[in-house]
Amino acid sequence: MQIVQGFSDIFKQHKYDTIACDIYGVIHDGIEAYSYSKDALTQLRKNDEHVILLSNSTRLQDKLDTAMTSKFGIDSSYYDEILSSGVLTKFFLKDLAEYLETGQVVNPACHATSQHHGTSTQTMPDAFAAKYLKTGKFFLAGDPDWQEPLYMPVSPTLTRVHDWDAIEFVLLGSIRGLFPDEKPVDPFSEQDVRADYQPLLDKCLERNIPMICANPDVFAPNGVNEDGSTKLLICPGYVGQMYEEMGGEVLYFGKPFKSIYDFLQTNKAKSSIKSNETEATSRIVCVGDNVATDVRGATEAGLDVVMILGGVHWEDLKDAKDDEELRSRVRNLCKTHDSQEPTYLMPMLRF
């Protein structure tokens, strides 16, 4: 683990074809942009770097672009593209609809990562559809304003319904409560979230209904509490983990799961011919703040990764006395989350 102050330190040693950068906890904290993130993105662009924002959000690029611009003053000129978990979820749902309509999926866009009984397996859309789908009915545990773009293009082949006895899968999209219009849930209260979602999980387990989790994040930083500590927002991955612990099957697309890294490497990353090589290869460095998603996912995919210290783990790291204690604390976090160690440690996203 090499401690660096910014990307200029890294570029003195290594050149990468693509920088795959997390958004939440790296560029902003959900409330405002971090101090140096806009300047860092500006400098990366001036340095002609290929920057892809890699997000576990359920939203697609157009919505994310709009939010980044209006809320944080960072428009799409600061990066090349956004690849989100929502994008892959949309592709997977499109392939499920194709199977229901034709009995096959000619060119599957991506695969999901299925977590079931502690085992992780690659799941293709045709295999999932053949096992679970006949009517295409599903329940949305989320926010229609955010998740409709994922499934409306394939409606009515896939149809959102409210009858839990009729559904064939659950689309887990955001933490607002099962029926947010009548009974919104506090997304900062684990007790409230567990109480609200438990009846759905019980019914799904009873009927062997799988969940498609469009955002695998468990927690995300969202501003600060009155005492100055990081405020953590509960994310869909939290409910996904609840269902896994009960014995249910959950499909994921985003970090740390292999699906999004395979798609990044195959479809989005740039490549170049390096010294002592005859064919173009792609060298990617990922950037993220969360050991459980960003660091674990990148290292399992065999990629270098910059861990940003000022995000979700800041409370665990902020009072380290020196570099050695900082490295020790990061190692402990990696052990806790069953992750390999990051390549670099960077306090905040800086050039």
Q: Is the pLDDT of residue 28 over 80?
A: yes
Please write the tens of the pLDDT for every residue from 313-333: 998 999 999 999 999 999 999
Please write the tens of the pLDDT for every residue from 135-184: 999 999 999 989 999 999 999 999 999 999 999 999 999 999 898 888 89
Of 24-33, 84-93, 109-118, minimum mean pLDDT range: 24-33
User: Stretch 53-71: mean pLDDT, rounded?
Assistant: 94
Q: Is the pLDDT of residue 2 over 70?
A: yes
Residue 260 and residue 57: Cα distance in Å, rounded?
12
pTM greater than 0.75 (yes/no): yes
Question: Are 209 and 170 contacting, i.e. CB atoms less than 8 angstroms apart?
Answer: yes
CA-nearest of 275, 261, 330, 269 to 14 is 275
Q: Which residue has the higher pLDDT, 7 or 219?
A: 7
Which tokens in the block code for residue 7?
């990307």
What is the 3-class SS of 117-186, one letter each residue? Answer: CCEEEEECHHHHHHHHCCCCEEEEECCHHHHHHHHHHHCCCCEECCCCCCCCEEEECCCCCCCCCCCCCC
Which tokens in the block code for residue 299?
């290292």
Q: Is the pLDDT of residue 281 over 80?
A: no
Give me the pLDDT at residue 274, please.
64
Alpha-carbon distances, residue 38 vs 16, 206, 285 (angstroms): 20, 48, 19
Residue 351: strand, helix, or coil = coil
Q: Is the pLDDT of residue 208 over 70?
A: yes
Q: Give me the count of residues in the chain.
A: 351
Alpha-carbon distances, residue 22 vs 50, 167, 294 (angstroms): 14, 33, 8
Placement of tokens 């290869």 in the chain: 281
- For the chain, give the percent of residues with pLDDT over 70: 98
pLDDT band at residue 275 under the 50/70/90 scheme: low
CA-nearest of 241, 219, 218 to 230 is 219
Query: What is the H or E stretch that residue 202 is in?
Result: helix 190-207
Q: Is the pLDDT of residue 271 over 80?
A: no
Of 69-78, 168-177, 178-187, 301-310, minimum mean pLDDT range: 178-187
- Domains contained in the chain, CATH given: 2-52+282-345 (3.40.50.1000), 86-252 (3.40.50.1000)
What is the 3-class SS of 270-335, one letter each residue? Answer: CCECCCCCCCCECCEEEEECCHHHHHHHHHHCCCEEEEECCCCCHHHHCCCCCHHHHHHHHHHHHH
